[in-house]
Amino acid sequence: MSTSSFFLLVAFLSVFTLVMGFLAAHRGITYQKGGRTYVGFVGVSAIAMMDLLASVFYGPGEAYRYIGYDAMFFLVLTSGIIALYAFSMTEIAEILEGLGQRGGGVYTITYLIFGRALSLIAVASILVDYINMAALSAISAVENAASVFPIWEGIRIPLELGIVWFLALLNILGIRSNVWTTFGVFLFLGYALVAGIALGLTGLDARALDTLVRGFRDPIAHMAGSGVLGALGYATVGVGSTILAYSGIETVLQTQKLVENWREIRKAYLFLVILNGILIPGVGVLALTHVPDPGAHVEGLVATYAVQVEGEVYGVVMALAAALALAFAMNTAFVGGTELLTTIAERYGLAFLLRTNRAGVHQGIILFLAATFTVLILITNGSANLVADMFAIGLLASFVLNLLALVTYRISEGYSRMRAYRTGVAKNVFLILVFAAAFVYVAAHKIHGTALWAGTSLAMIFLGVLAARFFRNPDLAYESAFHTVEDLERYIAEMSGDTVHLHFARPREGVGQEPGHVYVTFALQRLRPPRRRGENHFVLPYSQMWGVVAEMEALLRHLEKKFPDRAFVVHLGWPLSSWRERLSTGFMVHHFLMLPKSFPNIAFRIEYTPRTKLPR
């Protein structure tokens, strides 16, 4: 080791030690407050980072297999895209907490916005990702260990299953011991990878520098010379080839029940963005730069890189780090999966899944997850290639559903509530397009994964119907908080006069008390309804599946048929919303303008009423 390598290594490791020590001492791991134990943002990040850091040991090699040295550029680009997505997840955490919901992640937000069917597809998406990730982690952990220690072929599958059930036991013991154990492993991985970056930077020679420059120059030149569609298509392939490195990102949101508030989630995502943005692209790019033939070392690329820069001893350390990271990556699946299924069980009243042991852990759910991981390993006979073929499709589906729910909520509800953290509708729409394109690419090239995702989605929808039928229908609790069309009918029937002035008021608009006037406000079916502002004000639910305008048209047709002897005058408020808050305003106004064609016997008025009486 050269002098420059030694001093850079000491500097990097010292900074890492100081930062981790400071965070651990300042309630970063676990802490007690108000008689409860909370997991700090570093503890949550450590759980999620087990999967993210594990991806260093297979992600760059798999990416090279598909796109060659261009993987260097796309490892960095995908890291930036995931950082943008992490900020959107923080906004979802604030929204969920503001709506009185904690935990469940993609399931909860899609249920509140889109209802049961899409929310259960979201559950299937994240479960498929967890199951595949857990199985692949156990298999790859044994394979990496076998590259250092001789392991008989006949005991590899028993070792893989042993990892599964060891981590199941760790989770059953309770979350506190789990977090501290995981944090200890995370520190070891951090030291190994930080050392890898320091040694790799000081060991760059002319050949490695030329490879590094080519890895960034060539894909940029390729996209610049391919036109807009060609560049977008190539970028989609690149992102789709490297996205499997980030399956732990959803786990932070899943663990919202374990933290004090959404601000801890924000800190965890910020911590992940910084550390993940350094370690994963840093080690991956340097490994591709230093190893002369990455294609010959796909499964052990980082371990080979460690031998290349510092010899056999560091190679053994990196191989052990890989085995630990891949084993504890399964912990991400246990923690996130447990929180997800607990939320579903609470919503549908599945008491048999909610039984806890002395440590307060839902051991039935943990045992169920361990059984699913075991079944997949046995079905694939421990084949990493077959399991990898099923990977990433559920991850991308959950990304798209999360962002669709976030954008839909902001378009429908604006920013008057839960406005402390916002990321912008335009940015989230951009991410939807990126992840949707990557989803199409991965679905077309990983048929086994697509079939597993589709089959699991159908199964979850079927089980959801059964749970709502025989246990508890969660929609009923939300429906009882709203008025019904029958309530509105009875009020109109008791009104005097032949003319009914029907005002469609937005949630925060004023309501008048003039005789002959009735006000209707539509609110999302599974959100807290707006406060009723008078006896002539009715709050009706609408489904995002159909939209406000469709519900409005259905109501008008019903009232026109129910009261043929009444003349209806419909009042619509003047649209004042910012385009940045409600991109759909223009489309809604267009639909409003078309209403007279559908209801020629009803008078329509779009008007603005000032809050104070204007002088004549």
Q: Is 570 helix (H, G, I), strand (E, B) or coil?
A: strand
- Please state the rounded mean pLDDT for residues 518-526: 85
Q: What pLDDT was estimated at residue 614?
A: 43
Segment (H or E) for 605: strand 603-607
> What's the pLDDT score for residue 580?
44
- For residues 297 and 222, state if they share a domain: yes
> What pLDDT does residue 452 have?
87
Amino acid identity of 238?
G
Could you report the per-residue pLDDT of 436-450, keeping only the tens digit for each? 999 998 888 888 888
pLDDT band, residue 491 (cuts 50/70/90):
very high
Q: Which of 449, 472, 495 is the last residue of a domain?
A: 472
- Out of 428, 451, 472, a domain closes at 472
- Domain membership of residue 401 (yes or no) is yes
Q: Is 268 domain-assigned?
A: yes
Residue 612 lies in a domain: no
Instruction: Flag whether 380 is in a domain.
Output: yes
| Residues forming beta bridges with residue 194, ordered by sequence position | none
pLDDT confidence bin for 486, thresholds 50/70/90: very high
User: Are 531 and 436 contained in the same domain?
Assistant: no
CA dihedral 198, 202, 208, 213 (to 10 degrees): 80
Residues 53-65: what's their mean pLDDT? Answer: 81
Smallest Cα–Cα separation from 162: which of 386, 303, 330? 330
Q: Is residue 218 part of a domain?
A: yes
348 and 404 assigned to the same domain: yes
Give how far Cα 331 sits from Cα of 8, 82, 190, 437, Å.
33, 21, 17, 30
Residue 460 lies in a domain: yes
Element (H, E) at 567: strand 567-573
CA distance 164 to 116: 31
| Mean pLDDT over each residue of the chain, to the nearest integer | 83
List, in sequence order, every residue forming a beta bridge with 499; answer none if it has no partner: 567
Best mean pLDDT range from 74-88, 101-115, 183-197: 74-88
Separation of alpha carbons 542 and 478, rounded Å: 11
| Together in a domain, 574 and 450 | no
| Closest of 401, 557, 418, 570 to residue 97, by C-alpha | 418
Asked whether residue 80 falls in the same domain as residue 8, the answer is: yes
Does 183 share its domain with 240?
yes
- Residue 239, CB-side half-sphere exposure with 13 Å CA sphere: 25
The pLDDT tens digits of the residues spanning 554-583 come to: 999 999 999 999 999 999 877 665 444 444
Amino acid code (one letter) for 5:
S
Residue-wise pLDDT for 366-408, tens only, equals: 999 999 999 999 988 887 767 877 777 888 898 999 999 998 8
pLDDT of residue 174: 73
**CB atoms inside a 10 Å sphere around CB 375:** 12
Q: How many domains does one find in the chain? A: 2
CATH number of the domain within which 289 lies = 1.20.1740.10
Are 441 and 579 within one domain? no
Q: Whole-prediction pTM value?
A: 0.80
Which of the residue ranges 343-352, 410-419, 458-467, 585-594 has the most confident prediction, judged by mean pLDDT?
458-467
pLDDT at 147: 64
Q: Domain range for residue 547?
A: 478-607
Establish if 365 belongs to a structural domain.
yes
Domain shared by 268 and 137, yes or no: yes
The beta-strand segments (E) located in 453-551 are 499-504, 517-524, 537-542
Which residues, including other chains, have CB under 8 Å from residue 499's CB and lie 6 or more apart? 516, 566, 567, 568, 569
Check whether 585 has a pLDDT greater than 60.
no
Q: Which amino acid is at 139?
A: I
Q: What is the pLDDT of residues 293-324, one digit of tens each?
A: 888 777 778 888 888 888 878 888 888 888 78
User: Does 613 fall in a domain?
Assistant: no
Tokens of 492: 């109109």
Say whether both 593 and 544 belong to one domain.
yes
Please check whether residues 189 and 273 belong to one and the same domain. Answer: yes
Beta strands in 40-178 (DSSP E): none
Which whole number is the average pLDDT over 84-112?
A: 85
Q: Which residues have CB under 8 Å from 205's CB, separation 6+?
A: none
CB 284 within 8 A of CB 203: no
Closest CA to 405 of 527, 229, 490, 561: 527
Instruction: Assess whether 183 and 324 both reside in one domain.
Output: yes
Q: Which DSSP symbol is given to 349?
A: T
Residue with tokens 């910084």: 274
Strand order in the sheet with 517-524: 537-542, 517-524, 499-504, 567-573, 603-607
Residue 188: partners with Cβ closer than 8 Å, 6 or more residues away? 321, 324
Q: What is the Cα 265 distance to its own chain's centre? A: 13
pLDDT of residue 85: 92
Per-residue pLDDT band at 545 (split at 50, 70, 90)? low
Percent of the chain with pLDDT over 70: 91
As a dihedral over the C-alpha atoms of residue 568, residue 570, residue 571, residue 577, rounded to 10 degrees, the angle is: 170
- Same domain as 319, residue 402: yes
Burial of 275 (0-12, 13-18, 19+ CB in 10 A): buried
> Residue type for 377, please?
I
In whole angstroms, give the CA distance from residue 80 to residue 70: 16
User: pLDDT at position 575, please?
Assistant: 62
Provide the 10 A C-beta neighbour count for residue 579: 11
Quick one: average pLDDT of 526-543? 83
pLDDT at 1: 61
The CA distance from 54 to 280, in Å, is: 9
Confidence of residue 417 (pLDDT cuts 50, 70, 90): low
Instruction: Indicate the residue among 445, 472, 499 that finishes a domain.
Output: 472
pLDDT for position 416: 61
